Amino acid sequence: MSKKYKPHEFASKVGVSTKTLRRWDACGKLIAKRTISNHRYYDETDLHKLFNKTKEENRKTIVYCRVSSAGQKDDLKSQVEAMEIFCLASGVAVDEWIQEIGGGMNFKRKKFLSVMSRIQNG
């Protein structure tokens, strides 16, 4: 469970006033969470939203499915189907589907290296 911050604690942590937090809450920029007694609070996810905004805007969801050999093509198809079912059931919007045949210890797989390069280069 992530740490909860009272409004004055969170304001101090992000370098704004509590009045600014109330304004952000009202305009929808950063909506405060509420306790059962209707007191505002913030948590680690709110810090992430504020400080990693640009990363989230550029974030893509990629599903990478791999099997070791061409003889496992049926397994690859089953793996993709299972991931489709999972993503649909979980409400995960997938931007790109990647399928590859290559051994797990082979670190020269083109599609794998492409994904890793994209992650590294942002």
The CATH number given to whatever domain includes residue 50 is: 1.10.1660.10
pLDDT (tens digit, 9 = 90+) per residue, 90-119? 888 888 999 999 988 888 899 999 998 888
The Cα 78–Cα 87 span in angstroms is 14
**pTM, whole model, 2 decimals?**
0.53
Domain that residue 44 falls in: 4-56
How many folded domains does the chain comprise?
A: 2
User: How do residues 15-72 score in pLDDT, each as one tens digit?
Assistant: 899 999 999 999 888 999 998 888 999 988 888 888 775 455 567 889 999 999 999 9
* Same domain flag for 52 and 64: no
- Name residues whose C-beta falls within 8 Å of residue 43's C-beta, 6 or more positions apart in sequence: 2, 3, 4, 5, 33
CB burial readout 65-77, b (16+ within 10 A) else e = bbbeeeeeeeebe
64 and 27 in one domain?
no
Catalytic residues: 68
